[in-house]
């Protein structure tokens, strides 16, 4: 290195700051986070419940807007610079990478070790994550304010992506504490307004749900050979299953050849142990099969049925040790015919099913579950009730990012980006 | 058409793609390479269509099915970008990687049942998964390009501007699809599970992956300064992507994930 170069070289901490300072400061923020984590344990996100989050939010927005007054400062240029953004992105990457490798148990496990003291088991509630999150909100927010101050319509991709992301981070994070989620179990024919939170505490809601009917459709089940004493499907190393399919009525199970002669999806048992079709809540799938052992030529024919609370199962015995059984049918659809009441007299009725929730008065009601052991015969239906007042800004953010992403796909790395490049180089 | 007949479509497609990947280096055989590649893709497409009809649901659920699409998109995107940028290595490498994923499906098909659980029965299912697989194919191609560029820098001491243009475009388009896939997943999750982001292991890893590509995009805005760092980020990001896509099923931290099928 020549003397000239040495003289021109910027010293550490001498403005304008670049990567060395950005890395140091980002690491410093994370370090403070880890120290806080060890000293006072998890950040309690529910401290941010309304109106605290509104105040914090207003503070963040004002801080970002206030940077307009120091537009020319070298500090602000660094704070909104690419090196600092890259460092924050990498910091988020590392923290979430740790999160992806550590089971997120939420509460600290009984055996406290170094990693749990650093908050790895509950990353989103740990201080390093929170501090990096708030720094990102401030840095990204200030950058958006700075760029909006010299608005140029050609930069629409930049505005959409950055403002959209900021909105999602802002509303998603700060709004988290205001979100309410409860589970309600309603018995058929009854009205319910008591719900359970995730700790099992009972609460009464200003919403009542009446369950008129719970119904379920099932896929055809599978057939397999099990050991009659242990119940283990055979062969033990890699069990064979035959998926019932009337278009493919043959299969192989543990060396036996299977042929399905008849399949009834909703069957009831006759007095002579045969089955007939009868669509009703207590019906069960039943298959009439022929099993052939190719090595011995032995052939067995009979009915196999999965059974439920209303009907006994039926298996086809192959030997003293093995028997053919039907698996529990997998649900295809399950739905609740409900009526929802609110105190002001609004009522709504709907068929609730997975992927088709019902919205009423700021609440969203989801089909959640049923009595798994009873299956179709479940006498109750479980629903999840979600109240999420910050969803609107998040979705606005989603729309903005989506348009920005489409712009990225259509334009690729556009020449417009290069003006940004020269702009930033000028600032360096 | 089902997994048993897959080999009768996969084998001809792979042979045609291999031939295309070889003859593309001969200046006189460019048209032949086009014909070979397109015929291979057509045969492969035929299988996907037949398979879709046969299983009576979109083939997008199991690992084997997503690999089926990955091979398809990689072949198509490899061919289209080759036509646009004229690099023969783009065609050979995408043909090779597409074939590797076909072979995985031939030897370890992971055939699961036809049944689609209620949560997956949504209009978001097809666009969510295809958008992701499209972006994976772009990022796969970009990684190969990153190594080509690194070799150029090491040999000549200078990067090739045209390759960087290609890489940046691949990453921009790939990132666009990745983000769209994520957003559709968010909206779908809100409809099905009550929240748009729950830090489920697959979501966490998708976030990690997107951060890596976001870092690449920002590093590249600084011109020549951090070329090599940016280039090395691409293979690292691809490893993270592979964990998101395939590895999550095997991670101890991801047992109980709602994304494991």
Q: Does residue A176 surpass a pLDDT of 50?
A: yes
d(CA A310, nearest CA chain B) in Å: 25
Write down the pLDDT at residue B104: 85
CB atoms within 10 A of CB A381: 27
CB A242 within 8 A of CB A256: no
Q: How confident is the model at residue A427 (pLDDT cuts 50, 70, 90)?
A: very low
Is residue A379 within 8 angstroms of chain B, CB to CB? no
Is residue A389 helix, strand or coil? coil
Cα A52 to the center of its chain, rounded Å: 26
A92 touches chain B (CB under 8 A): yes
- Do the chains contact at B180 and A405, CB–CB below 8 Å? yes
What pLDDT does B126 receive? 76
Asked whether the beta carbons of A219 and A243 are under 8 A apart, the reply is no
Residue A54: pLDDT band by 50, 70, 90 thresholds? Answer: very high
Distance from CA of B19 to the nearest CA of A (A): 31
Q: Nearest by CB to B208, which of A96, A366, A402? A: A96
Encode pLDDT of A361-403 as tens digits. Answer: 889 999 999 998 888 889 999 999 999 999 999 999 999 999 9
Give the C-alpha separation, A79 to A83, whole Å: 9
Question: What percentage of chain B carries pLDDT values higher than 90?
Answer: 52
Task: Tell me the nearest-neighbour CA distance from A264 into chain B, angstroms.
Answer: 18
Comparing CB atoms, the residue among A100, A245, A424 nearest residue B253 is A100
**Given this model, what pLDDT does residue A428 score?**
38
Q: Is the CB of residue A269 less than 8 Å from the CB of residue A245?
A: no
Model pLDDT for residues A255-303, shown as the tens digit of each residue: 899 999 999 999 999 888 889 998 888 889 999 999 999 989 899 999 9
Kindly report, residue by residue over A55-73, the tens digit of the pLDDT. 999 999 999 999 999 988 9
pTM: 0.86
Q: Range with the lowest mean pLDDT among A48-52, A131-135, A185-189, B251-255?
A: B251-255
Q: Is the pLDDT of residue A142 over 50?
A: yes
Higher per-residue confidence, B62 vs A232 = A232
pLDDT at residue A329, as a whole number: 87
Interface confidence, given as ipTM, is 0.88
Show Cβ contacts of residue A4 under 8 Å, excluding neighbours closer than 6 positions. none
Q: Are strands A284-292 and A299-305 parallel, antiparallel or unpaired?
A: antiparallel
Which of A:294-333 have CB within 8 Å of B?
330-333
DSSP-based three-state secondary structure for A187: strand
pLDDT at B109: 65
Whole-number Å distance between alpha carbons of B244 and A101: 11
Q: Measured between CB atoms, which of A86, A101, A366 is closest to B215?
A: A86
Write b or e for each residue in A203-223: b if 16 or more Cβ atoms lie within 10 A of its Cβ, otherwise e. Answer: eebebbbbbeebbbebbbbbb
Q: Using CB atoms within 10 A of its CB, is residue A184 exposed (0-12), middle (13-18) or buried (19+)?
A: buried
**B183/A179 CB distance under 8 A:** no
Q: Are A311 and A282 in contact (CB under 8 A)?
A: yes
Backbone angles phi, psi at A249, to 5 degrees: -85, 15
Strand order in the sheet with A322-326: A242-243, A222-227, A322-326, A316-317
Task: List CB contacts (< 8 A) between A85 and chain B.
Answer: 218
pLDDT for residue B113? 54
Note whether B179 contacts A386, CB cutoff 8 Å: no
For the residues B101-109, what does the mean pLDDT come to? 82
Kindly state the tokens that stand for A352: 């609730």
pLDDT above 80 for B112: no
Q: First CA to last CA across chain A, in angstroms?
A: 22
Structural contact between residues B220 and B234, judged by C-beta atoms closer than 8 angstroms: no
What confidence tier does A6 reach under pLDDT thresholds 50, 70, 90? Answer: very low
Q: Is B201 on the interface with A (CB under 8 A)?
A: yes
Taking the CA atoms of B227, B232, B235 and B240 in sequence, report the sign of the dihedral they define. negative
Q: Report d(CA A367, CA B179) in Å as an integer.
A: 28
- Confidence bin at B87 (pLDDT 50/70/90): confident
DSSP codes, A346-371: -EEEEEEETTB-EEETTEEEEEEEE-
Q: How far apart are CA B58 and CA A121, in angstroms?
A: 37
**Contacts with A156 (C-beta within 8 Å, 6 or more apart), sequence order:** A407
Chain A residue numbers touching B169 (CB-CB < 8 A): 412-413
Chain A contact set for B254 (CB, 8 A)? 100
When scoring B118, B121, B127 by the number of chain A Cβ atoms within 10 A, the one with the most, hence best to mutate, is B118
Contact flag A354-B192 (C-beta cutoff 8 Å)? yes
Mean pLDDT, rounded, for A406-423: 65
Q: Which residues of B217-228 are buried (b: 16+ CB within 10 A; e: fewer)?
A: bbbbbbeebbbe
Element (H, E) at A37: helix A19-40
Q: How sure is the predictor about A419, in pLDDT bands with cuts at 50, 70 and 90?
A: very low
CB A284 within 8 A of CB A305: yes
Q: How far apart are CA A365 and CA B119, in angstroms?
A: 15
- Does position A326 have pLDDT exceeding 70, yes or no? yes
pLDDT band at B256 (very low <50, low <70, confident <90, very high): low
| pLDDT over 80 (residue B181) | yes
pLDDT on residue B72: 93
Which residue in A181, A357, A411 is closest to B191 by CB distance?
A357
Does the beta-carbon distance from A100 to B205 stay under 8 Å?
A: yes
Using the predicted structure, report yes or no on whether residue B78 has a pLDDT greater than 80.
yes
Question: CB A408 to CB B118 under 8 A?
Answer: no
Is residue A339 helix, strand or coil? strand
Phi and psi at A322, nearest 5°, equal -120, 150
Residue-wise pLDDT tens digits, A154-167: 889 999 999 999 99
- At residue A335, does pLDDT exceed 80? yes
* SS3 at position A303: strand
A98 Cβ neighbours under 8 A, 6+ residues apart: A120, A123
3-state secondary structure chain B: CCCCCCHHHHHHHHHHHHHHHHHCCCHHHHHHHHHHHHHHHHHHHHHHHHHHHHHCCCCCCCHHHHHHHHHHHHHHHHHHHHHHHCCHHHHHHHHHHHHHHHHHHHHCCCCCCCCCCHHHCCCCHHHHHHHHHHHHHHHHHHHHHHHHHHHHHHHHCCCCHHHHHHHHHHHHHHHHHHHHHHHHHHHHHHHHHCCCCCCCHHHHHHHHHHHHHHHHHHHHHHCCCCHHHHHHHHHHHHHHHHHHHCHHHHCHHHCCCCCCC
Distance separating alpha carbons of residues A141 and A156, to the nearest angstrom: 16
- Checking if the pLDDT of B56 tops 70, the result is yes
Share of chain A above pLDDT 90, in %: 62
Long-range contacts of B236-244 (CB under 8 A, 24+ apart): B236/B212, B237/B139, B237/B143, B237/B209, B237/B212, B237/B213, B238/B139, B238/B140, B238/B143, B240/A97, B240/B205, B240/B208, B240/B209, B240/B212, B241/B136, B241/B139, B241/B209, B243/A100, B243/B205, B244/B202, B244/B205, B244/B206, B244/B208, B244/B209
At residue A7, does pLDDT exceed 50?
no
If you average pLDDT over residues B211-223, what whole number do you get? 93
Q: Tell me, what's the pLDDT at A425? A: 44
The reply to whether A354 touches chain B by the CB within 8 Å rule is yes
Copy the structure tokens of residue B212: 């890596």
Q: B215 vs A366: CB contact, 8 Å cut-off? A: no
The answer, yes or no, to whether residue A348 has pLDDT greater than 70, is yes
Output phi, psi for A195, to 5 deg: -130, 165
Q: How far apart are CA B239 and CA B136, in angstroms?
A: 11
Q: Is B259's pLDDT higher than 80?
A: no
Residue B213 predicted with pLDDT over 70? yes
pLDDT band at A1 (very low <50, low <70, confident <90, very high): very low
Residue A427 is encoded by which pair of tokens? 């600032």
Collapsed DSSP state (helix, strand, coil) of residue A13: coil
* CB distance A361 to A342 below 8 Å: yes
- Higher pLDDT among residues B79 and B63, named by residue: B79
Task: Report pLDDT digits (tens) over A71-122.
Answer: 889 999 999 999 999 999 999 999 999 999 988 887 766 667 788 888 888 8
d(CA A85, CA A139): 8
In the beta sheet, which residues pair with residue A242? A223
Choice among A66-75, A206-215, B117-126 with the minimum mean pLDDT: B117-126
Q: What phi, psi does B201 have (nearest 5°)?
A: -50, -40
B118 with A354: Cβ contact below 8 A: yes
Q: What is the mean pLDDT of chain A?
A: 89
A-contacting residues of B 79-118, CB under 8 Å?
113-118
What's the mean pLDDT in B94-111? 82
């Amino acid at each position: 290195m020549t003397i000239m170069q040495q003289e021109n070289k910027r010293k550490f901490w001498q403005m304008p700051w670049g990567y060395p300072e950005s890395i140091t400061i980002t690491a410093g923020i994370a370090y403070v986070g880890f120290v806080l984590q060890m000293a006072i344990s998890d950040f309690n996100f529910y401290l941010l419940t309304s109106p605290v989050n509104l105040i914090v939010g207003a503070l963040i927005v004002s801080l970002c807007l206030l940077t307009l007054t120091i537009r020319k400062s070298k500090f602000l240029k660094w704070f909104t610079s690419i090196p600092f953004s890259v460092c924050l992105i990498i910091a988020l990457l590392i923290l979430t990478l740790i999160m992806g490798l550590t089971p997120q148990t939420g509460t600290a496990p009984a055996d406290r070790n170094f990693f749990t003291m650093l908050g790895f088991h509950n990353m989103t509630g740990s201080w390093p994550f929170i501090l990096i999150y708030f720094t990102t909100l401030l840095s990204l927010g200030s950058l958006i304010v700075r760029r909006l101050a010299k608005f140029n319509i050609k930069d629409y991709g930049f505005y959409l992506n950055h403002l959209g992301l900021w909105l999602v981070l802002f509303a998603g994070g700060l709004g988290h504490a205001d979100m309410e989620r409860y589970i309600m179990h309603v018995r058929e024919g009854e009205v319910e307004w008591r719900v359970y939170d995730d700790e099992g505490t009972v609460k009464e809601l200003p919403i009542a749900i009446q369950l008129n009917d719970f119904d379920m459709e099932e896929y055809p089940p599978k057939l397999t050979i099990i050991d009659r004493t242990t119940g283990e499907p055979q062969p033990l190393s890699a069990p064979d299953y035959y998926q019932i399919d009337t278009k493919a009525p043959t299969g192989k199970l543990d060396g036996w050849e299977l042929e399905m002669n008849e399949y009834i999806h909703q069957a009831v048992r006759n007095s002579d142990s045969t089955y007939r079709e009868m669509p009703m809540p207590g019906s069960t799938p039943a298959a009439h099969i022929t099993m052939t052992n190719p090595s011995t030529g032995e052939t067995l024919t009979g009915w196999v049925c999965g059974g439920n609370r209303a009907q006994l199962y039926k298996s086809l015995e192959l030997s003293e040790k093995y028997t053919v059984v039907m698996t529990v049918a997998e649900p295809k659809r399950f739905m609740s015919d409900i009526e929802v009441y609110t105190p002001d007299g609004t009522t709504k009725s709907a068929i609730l099913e997975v992927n088709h929730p019902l919205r009423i008065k700021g609440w969203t009601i989801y089909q959640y579950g049923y009595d798994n052991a009873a299956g179709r015969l479940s006498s109750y239906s479980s629903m999840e009730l979600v109240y999420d007042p910050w969803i609107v800004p998040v979705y606005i953010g989603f729309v903005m990012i989506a348009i920005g992403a489409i712009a990225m796909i259509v334009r690729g790395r556009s020449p417009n980006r290069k003006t940004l490049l020269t702009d930033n180089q000028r600032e360096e | 058409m089902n997994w048993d007949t897959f080999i009768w479509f996969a084998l001809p497609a792979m042979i045609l793609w291999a031939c295309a990947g070889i003859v593309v280096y001969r200046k006189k055989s460019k048209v032949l390479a086009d014909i070979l590649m397109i015929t291979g893709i057509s045969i492969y497409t035929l299988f996907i269509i037949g398979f879709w009809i046969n299983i009576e649901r979109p083939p997008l659920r199991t690992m084997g099915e997503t690999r089926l699409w990955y091979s398809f998109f990689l072949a198509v995107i490899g061919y289209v970008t080759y036509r646009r940028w004229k690099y023969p290595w783009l065609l050979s490498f995408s043909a090779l990687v597409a074939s590797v994923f076909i072979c995985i499906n031939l030897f370890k098909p992971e055939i699961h049942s036809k049944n689609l659980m209620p949560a997956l029965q949504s209009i978001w299912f097809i666009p969510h998964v295809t958008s992701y697989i499209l972006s994976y194919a772009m990022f796969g191609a970009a990684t190969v390009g990153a190594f080509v560029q690194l070799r150029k820098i090491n040999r000549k001491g200078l990067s090739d501007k045209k390759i960087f243009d290609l890489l940046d475009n691949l990453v921009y388009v790939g990132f666009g699809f990745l983000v769209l896939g994520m957003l559709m997943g968010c909206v779908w999750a809100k409809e099905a599970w009550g929240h748009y982001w729950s830090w489920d292991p697959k979501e966490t890893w998708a976030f990690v992956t997107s951060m890596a590509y976001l870092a690449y995009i920002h590093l590249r805005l600084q011109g020549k300064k951090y070329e090599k760092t940016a280039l090395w980020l691409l293979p690292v990001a691809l490893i993270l992507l592979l964990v998101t896509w395939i590895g999550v099923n095997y991670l101890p931290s991801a047992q109980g994930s709602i994304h494991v099928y």
